[in-house]
Amino acid sequence: MTAERMKNLHPYVPGEQPKDRKYIKLNANENPYPPSPEVIKAIKKAVKKSPEKIGLYPDPDSNELKDAIADMLNCCGGVLCRSVPCSGKKIMPSSSDALPFKITPDMIYAGNGSDEVLSFIFYAFFDSDRPVVLPEHTYSFYPVYAGFYGIPMEKIPLNGDWTLNKEKILEKALEYDSGIIFANPNAPTTLGISKEEVKSLLEKSPKDKVFVVDEAYVDFGGESCLSLLENYKNLIIVRTFSKSLCGAGMRLGYAVASPELINYITTVKNCLNHFPIDYLSQKAGIAACESAWYYAECAKSVAFERDEFIDFLRERGWYVLDSQTNFVFCKKEGLSGEDIYKKIKQEGILVRHFNTSGIEDYIRITVGTSLQMASLKKVIEKI
């Protein structure tokens, strides 16, 4: 009954979203903190003041939201956990994160979660005539999109220490004259490469193919590549409200790139879903961007809990990668990843285990509040 193309579909499997039992959920890299009170206020106000707007189509291009995103990025430099508070609930970038130019709204595409934005990018820029180059272990949605659109892939194994094999990525991109995508910091490995390292890759890789850096986690550490947009017109940076902006339920994500590339993504959008962001999410997203100071505090708390937790695990003989994200990637000698996952689940806490060859010994644990982490530590003491 189905079309032939259905054979190429291998759906993404997200972390469990259980309904039967109240688990502490540390399995989907969601933010444990609530959204800013300003977000709640904005949603209430929108419903109360202009309920008729629910019955009308929203702004198809989310222009006010794009303005707010640009303002937020200019104010924090792209890494919330290093931003510096200044007076009146405002923040500014640390000196190392300050942008050398202003990001303008025409450099932003806003969409229904960065997953949708990524899907449009795959459609617009990666062709079926050559493989897109990506790390073997990275965000597992990339291969799903490649399958969906019939794009071949060249998967580059990570180095033995889980870092990106930059040389091999570059070599293959040049060999095939093709585009590149990876997450920075990478998932599920939590490690990032520096802006200088990205720059040196950009410098040598094909200039007429897109180079996509997914910065879903960069607000928790690492270095943003936003400042490289000034000189590299083939660079696309993808970011999301789901992790550092406590908004996974709002489904908001965006790309930052040259206006020319943004126009291509917009064209794809207008052929698939003209109104990707609903009225209330646009309002909520604007309020979130205006509360960057609040999310900076949340990101700092998450980074603090993360570093404490990594020390805790290492003191107990776990192998843990350094993390620049809101999660940790770890294993314990003598226990399989699946065993650890099951033992922790029995105690009412969900973490993520991947049945993927090469990383099956590891588990991925999202960093929660200090209360949640205290519960988890108790469980781990028992393992």
Which residues form the interface with ligand PLP (CB under 6 A)? 29, 113-115, 139, 183, 187, 214, 216, 240, 242, 248, 253
| φ/ψ of residue 235, rounded to 5 | -85, 135
> How far apart are CB 184 and ligand PLP at their closest, in Å?
9
**Measured over all CA atoms, what is the biggest interatomic distance in the chain, rounded to whole angstroms?**
63
d(CA 303, CA 297): 10
Cβ 141 to ligand PLP shortest distance, Å: 7
Q: In 77-112, which ranges are continuous DSSP H helix? A: none
Q: Which residue number, 302 or 380, has a Cβ lying nearer to ligand PLP? A: 302
Phi, psi angle pair for 128, to nearest 5°: -85, -5
Neighbours of 296 (CB within 10 A): 22
Nearer Cβ to ligand PLP (83/112): 112
| Smallest distance, ligand PLP to C-beta of residue 321, A | 16
Residue with tokens 């939201």: 65
Q: How far is the CB of 217 from ligand PLP (least distance, A)?
A: 6
Minimum gap (Å) between residue 328 Cβ and ligand PLP: 14
Convert 250-287 to b/e letters by CB count within 10 Å (16 or more is b). bbbbbbbbbeebbebbbebbeeeeeebbbbbbbbbbbb
The nearest distance, CB 243 to ligand PLP, in angstroms, is 6
- In the complex, the smallest distance separating the C-beta of residue 213 from ligand PLP, rounded to whole angstroms, is 10
Residue 246 falls in which region: left (phi positive, over 0), alpha (psi -120 to 50) or beta:
left
Task: Report the 10 Å Cβ neighbour count for 220.
Answer: 29
Cβ proximity to ligand PLP: between 131 and 253 the closer is 253
DSSP letters of 234-289?
TEEEEEESSSTTS-GGG--EEEE--HHHHHHHHHHHHHH-S--S-HHHHHHHHHHH
- Note whether 43 and 383 are within 8 A (CB): no
